[in-house]
Structure 1
Amino acid sequence: MQNGLLAKLDKVLSPIGVKLGNQRHLQAIANGMMFGLPFLVIGSFFLIFANPPINLDRYNPETANFFMHFMASWKDFAVANYDAITLPYNMTMGIYGIVCAFGIGHELSKTYERNAPMDGMMALIIFMMVATDVKDNKLAMDYLGTNGLFVAILIGLLSVELNRLVDRDGLKINMPSTVPPMVTTFINSLIPLTVNILVFYGANLLIHSWTHASFPEFITKLLTPATSIATNLWGFILIVTIGNFLWLIGVNGTSIVFPILFALGVSQSGMNADLINHGQAASHLINLQMFRISVLGGAGNTLGLVLLMMFSRVEKFRSIGRLSFIPGMCSINEPVIFGSPIVFNPILGIPFILAPIVNLLLTYGAQKIGLISLGYIVDPSFTPFFAQAYMSTMDWRNVVFWIALIFVAMVIYLPFFKVCEHNEKMQEQAM
C-alpha cells in the first residue's frame, strides 16, 4: 500500500465502502445475493452447453472438417433438446430473483433477531405475487431471474420492515409458554402475511390498472432510455453506461438496454453484410461487434477482474475468480457481480463503469482506421468471446484485438482490486 495512487484510493473509497458494508440493509442485500451464488454458477454452465459456438448458416457439411462436424452435431442436439438442457438453468439462474428475495429477507430479519426463515419465506411469496403472471395455467418466468432482481431487493427489504411495523404496533399475539412454538409462529404470521399481500400485491394491481403493466414491467419501462441517441458513438456509450450504473444498484441493466443495443447492432451488421455482398467495404461502425465488446466478459468487462481474482492472495476472491472464469468467457458474469460483490461497491464500481467506455473507444478507433474488421455477421450469443470475435468478422485480427481488450480491462481494474484485496486481508486478520 506504499503506492501513492493506491493509498489515495484507499483513503477516499475505503471509508465509504466500510460504511456501506456495515449498513444493515446493504449488508442484507450483499449476503442475500451471495446466498444465491451457487445457483448462478451452475445455471450458467447449462446455458453455455445449450448454445454451442457455431453458426449453422455458414456451415457446409461437404467442406467442413471433423471439428466442425462435431460442432454442428452438438448444435443439432442442443436445438432438438433445448428445453430439457435449459431446465437446470431456468430453475437456477432463471429464478435467481426468488432466491434473492428469500435470502435478503432472511438476512435482514436475522439482524433484527426475528424469525428469519418465516420473514424470508414471506418475502419470497410476495415477490412471486408481484413479479409473475398466470395465463392459461402457466406461470410466467420473465421477471423471476436477474431481470426482476431490483424488485426482489425492494420486496426483501420492505417486507421485513413491514413485518416489524406490524409487530411494533401491537398486532402480535403473545401466546402462553405451553403453546408449541410452531403454533405460535403460525398464528403470528397470519396478520403480517395478510398485510404484506394487501400492501404489495394491492400496489401491483393498482400499477397494472393504471399502466397495464406489472410492477417489474413498469420499473423496466421507466428505466429504458430512448433509442434515438444510440446511433452515434457517444449515445451508444451513454446507454451502455446507464445499463452498468443500474447493475451497481442491483438492477440487471443489460436486460434493460439489450433491446436497444442488440437491435441496433444486428441492423448495422446487416447493412455491412449487404455492402460486402455488393462488393463494397463495410462502413457501419456501431455494429453488433460494438455491443459484444460492451459486454466482453459480461457487463463491466469483468473478465479482466476475474483473471486478477484467480491469482489473488485472498481465498474468497480466488475461489470466486476460478468459478467465474468459464461463464465469464461466455459473457455471463452474475457470479462475480454478486459474489465479489460489485453491486453497491464504490471501489469496484469505478472500473466497472470505466472499462467498457475505454474498450468501446478503442474498438471504434480500431475499426475506423482499419486495424480490425467491422462486424457483418450475427454471431451466436453465450459463446466464448474468441469465437464471437472471429464469427462476427471472419478475421483473426479481431480475436487478437479482443484478447488485448481483456488485458486493458485488467489494467483498469488492477489498482481498485488491490484496494479491495488489501481491505479484505485486513478484515481476515481482524477476525
Structure 2
Amino acid sequence: MNRFNKFVEFLEKKLLPIVEKMEGQVHLQAIKNSMLALLPVTIIGSFTLVAVNLAQVFQNTFYANFVSSYELEIMTLFNFSMGLMGLFTALFVSYNLSRSYDMYTIGDCLNGLVMYLILNSSVTESGIDMTYLDSKGMFTGIFVAIISVEISRELKEKNFIIKMPEGVPDMVSKNFELIIPLIVNSLVFLSIRILIFKLTGSLVPEIILSIMKPLSIGLNNVFGVMLLVFLIQLLWWFGIHGDATLGPIFLPVALQNITENAAAYAQGKPIPHVFTETFLSNFLLMSGSGITVGLLILMLFSKSKRYKELGKISLLPAVFGINEPITFGTPIVYNPILFIPYVIGPTLITLPIYKIFESGIVERAFIQSPGYTPFFLQGYLMNLSFKSTILQILILILSVLIYYPFFKVMEKDELKNEVDIKDSDGDK
C-alpha cells in the first residue's frame, strides 16, 4: 500500500498539472466543444444510411420502392451532413474560439469558412471539387479556424481595423471591422496554398493528413486505444472528467473514422475502422467510465444498506450511460481498493473487445448512435446487429466478475461500520 501511495503522489505531482493546463487551454477547449457539437451532424448522416438500409429489410414494399426511386435524393442528406464534416469543423471551431475571446463570432465564422475553402477546394469544369470537404479535411478545418481567429484577434488588439464613427449602427460597424482581417487572412491562406503546392505538388489537407497520420495510426490500433482507455480511467480516478479532458485528442479521429465508415458502407465497401466514438462509449466505457455496471449490480444485491440504496439511485442514470452517482457516491475517486477494477480492468478488457471487432466477429460501427440512449439499444444501433447486444451482455458479466472480489472487501468494511453505527445509536 505504501508503494501504491507513492505511485499516486507521483501521478498527482506529474500528471495533474498537465491536465489542469489542458483544461484551461483555450484552443483545446474550442476543439473539444466543436467535436461534441458535431455529433448531431454525424447522427443525421448515420440515420440516413439506416433509412436506406431498411429498404433491403422490407423488400417489395411501398417503403422499399419509395427509397429505391428516391435514393439519390435521400442520400443528399448524408452528403451534406457527414459529407461536409471538414467544412463544419472549420465553422464550429471558429465559432467556439471566437466566442471564448469575446470577438465578433459571425464574422470569424465567415472568415474561417472562406479560408477553409481557399485551402481545401479546387474549382473544376464541373464545379467545386469536394474531395477534402468531408472528414479528410477535419484536421485542416481545425488548423484554419485557429490561425484565422488568432490573426483577427491580433489585428483587433493592434487596432489594425476600420473603425466607424460613433452613431453608426453596431452591426454595420462590426462588418467594416471585418474587412481588414478578411483581406489579411485571404492573403495569408492563399499564399500558404500556393507555396505548399509549388513545393510539394499537393494540397494543404494532404500535407496535414500526413502530419496527423501518427495520431490516426495510434488510435487505429489496439495498443493506442488501450492507452487512451487507461488515461481516461486514470483521470476519472483522480476525479477529473477523463473523456472530456482528452476529447480534443481523440474526438477528431473518432468522428473522422465514423464518417469514413459510413461512406464505405454506403458504397458497399469494407468498413475500415474499429475505433469510433460510438465504439468507445458503447463497449469500452459501457454504462459510463470504468464499465461500472458490474459494480452497480453487485450493490443492488449487497447486504449493506448504503450500497444497496446507492445501487438503486444509480441504476437508471447508468442505463443511459451516466455513472457520476456511483463514481462519486461510492466513492471510486481516490479509492485504492477500486483502482485495479476501475482503471486496469477496462484497459485490459479493451484488448479482446477490439480484436472481436477487428476480426469481423461483430460488425464495425457505421452509424453514430445518439448519446444518452440505453446502452443496449445504442450498441445495436451502431451497426444494426444484435451481435453487439450479445457482446455488451458478455461485458456486463465480465464487469461483475472483475469488481466482485474488490467490492466484497469494501462491503465487509461497510457492514462493520453500519454495525458500529447501530450499536452507537443503541447506546444512546
Q: What TM-score do the two structures reach when normalised by structure 2?
A: 0.55
Say which structure, 1 or 2, has more relative contact order (CA 8 Å, 6+ apart): 1
* Equivalent residue in structure 2 for 1:404, among 385, 394, 404: 394
Deviation of the 1:115 alpha carbon? 1.6
Q: Kindly tell me: are residues 53 and 300 of structure 1, through their superposed partners in 2, closer, same or farther at Cα, counting changes over 3 Å?
A: farther
Aligned to 1:149: 138
Deviation of the 1:158 alpha carbon? 1.3
Per-residue Cα deviation, 1:129-169 (whole angstroms, up to 9, x for no partner): 21223323433334334332222222222111101222344
Aligned to 1:85: 74
Deviation of the 1:214 alpha carbon? 1.7
Deviation of the 1:207 alpha carbon? 1.6
Q: Kindly tell me: are residues 90 and 296 of structure 1, through their superposed partners in 2, closer, same or farther at Cα, counting changes over 3 Å?
A: closer
Tell me, in whole angstroms, the C-alpha distance in 2 between the residues paired with 1:98 and 1:353.
Answer: 38
- Higher mean Cα deviation, 301-310 or 88-97? 301-310
Aligned AA (2:189): F
Query: SS of the counterpart of 2:288?
Result: helix
Deviation of the 1:118 alpha carbon? 0.8
**Would the aligned equivalents of 2:115 and 2:189 in 1 still touch at CA under 8 Å?**
yes
2:49 aligned with 1:47 = yes
Aligned to 1:63: none
Q: Kindly tell me: are residues 304 and 141 of structure 1, through their superposed partners in 2, closer, same or farther at Cα, counting changes over 3 Å?
A: same
Aligned AA (2:222): I
**Would the aligned equivalents of 2:288 and 2:318 in 1 still touch at CA under 8 Å?**
no
2:119 aligned with 1:130 = yes
Tell me, in whole angstroms, the C-alpha distance in 2 between the residues paired with 1:379 and 1:104.
Answer: 28
Aligned to 1:332: none
Aligned to 1:277: none
Tell me, in whole angstroms, the C-alpha distance in 2 between the residues paired with 1:158 and 1:108.
Answer: 10
Aligned AA (1:173): I
Tell me, in whole angstroms, the C-alpha distance in 2 between the residues paired with 1:297 and 1:71.
Answer: 35
* Equivalent residue in structure 2 for 1:237, among 207, 222, 228: 222
Larger Rg: 2
Aligned to 2:288: 308
Aligned to 1:208: 197
**Would the aligned equivalents of 1:28 and 1:107 in 2 still touch at CA under 8 Å?**
yes
Tell me, in whole angstroms, the C-alpha distance in 2 between the residues paired with 1:189 and 1:321.
Answer: 48
Aligned AA (2:249): L
Aligned to 2:243: none
Query: SS of the counterpart of 2:287?
Result: helix
Aligned AA (1:308): G
Q: Kindly tell me: are residues 363 and 183 of structure 1, through their superposed partners in 2, closer, same or farther at Cα, counting changes over 3 Å?
A: closer
Q: Kindly tell me: are residues 120 and 357 of structure 1, through their superposed partners in 2, closer, same or farther at Cα, counting changes over 3 Å?
A: farther
Listed as ranges, the matches of 1:328-343 within 5 Å are none
Q: Kindly tell me: are residues 23 and 87 of structure 1, through their superposed partners in 2, closer, same or farther at Cα, counting changes over 3 Å?
A: same
Q: Kindly tell me: are residues 52 and 27 of structure 1, through their superposed partners in 2, closer, same or farther at Cα, counting changes over 3 Å?
A: same
- Higher mean Cα deviation, 157-166 or 111-120? 111-120
Per-residue Cα deviation, 1:363-411 (whole angstroms, up to 9, x for no partner): 75x89xxxxxx759999955996699998xxxx9897446525776999
Q: What TM-score do the two structures reach when normalised by structure 1?
A: 0.55
Percent of residue pairs bearing the same amino acid type: 23
Per-residue Cα deviation, 1:217-240 (whole angstroms, up to 9, x for no partner): 222234446xxx99xxxx953587
Aligned AA (1:134): V
**Would the aligned equivalents of 2:98 and 2:105 in 1 still touch at CA under 8 Å?**
yes
* Equivalent residue in structure 1 for 2:206, among 207, 217, 238: 217
2:165 aligned with 1:176 = yes
Listed as ranges, the matches of 1:364-403 within 5 Å are 375=360, 382=367, 400-401=390-391, 403=393
Tell me, which stretches of 5 or more residues in structure 2 are unaligned?
230-245, 265-269, 297-309, 311-315, 323-341, 369-377, 403-428
Tell me, in whole angstroms, the C-alpha distance in 2 between the residues paired with 1:28 and 1:126.
Answer: 18
* Equivalent residue in structure 2 for 1:195, among 184, 199, 214: 184
Listed as ranges, the matches of 1:86-125 within 5 Å are 86-125=75-114
Aligned to 1:24: 26
- Higher mean Cα deviation, 179-188 or 125-134? 179-188
Tell me, in whole angstroms, the C-alpha distance in 2 between the residues paired with 1:409 and 1:213.
Answer: 49
Q: Kindly tell me: are residues 180 and 407 of structure 1, through their superposed partners in 2, closer, same or farther at Cα, counting changes over 3 Å?
A: farther
2:253 aligned with 1:252 = yes
Aligned AA (2:49): L
Deviation of the 1:172 alpha carbon? 1.7
Q: Kindly tell me: are residues 356 and 139 of structure 1, through their superposed partners in 2, closer, same or farther at Cα, counting changes over 3 Å?
A: farther
Tell me, in whole angstroms, the C-alpha distance in 1 between the residues paired with 2:83 and 2:259.
Answer: 17
Query: SS of the counterpart of 1:123?
Result: helix
Note the aligned Cα RMSD (angstroms): 5.6
Aligned AA (2:203): S
Query: SS of the counterpart of 1:134?
Result: strand
Per-residue Cα deviation, 1:330-367 (whole angstroms, up to 9, x for no partner): xxxxxxxxxxxxxxxxxxxxx99996874444675x89
Query: SS of the counterpart of 1:165?
Result: helix
Tell me, which stretches of 5 or more residues in structure 1 are unaligned?
55-67, 264-287, 326-350, 368-373, 413-431
Tell me, in whole angstroms, the C-alpha distance in 2 between the residues paired with 1:52 and 1:299.
Answer: 22
Q: Kindly tell me: are residues 87 and 119 of structure 1, through their superposed partners in 2, closer, same or farther at Cα, counting changes over 3 Å?
A: same
Tell me, in whole angstroms, the C-alpha distance in 2 between the residues paired with 1:390 and 1:99.
Answer: 27
**Would the aligned equivalents of 1:53 and 1:380 in 2 still touch at CA under 8 Å?**
no
Listed as ranges, the matches of 1:62-77 within 5 Å are 70=59
Aligned AA (2:52): A
Tell me, in whole angstroms, the C-alpha distance in 2 between the residues paired with 1:49 and 1:34.
Answer: 24
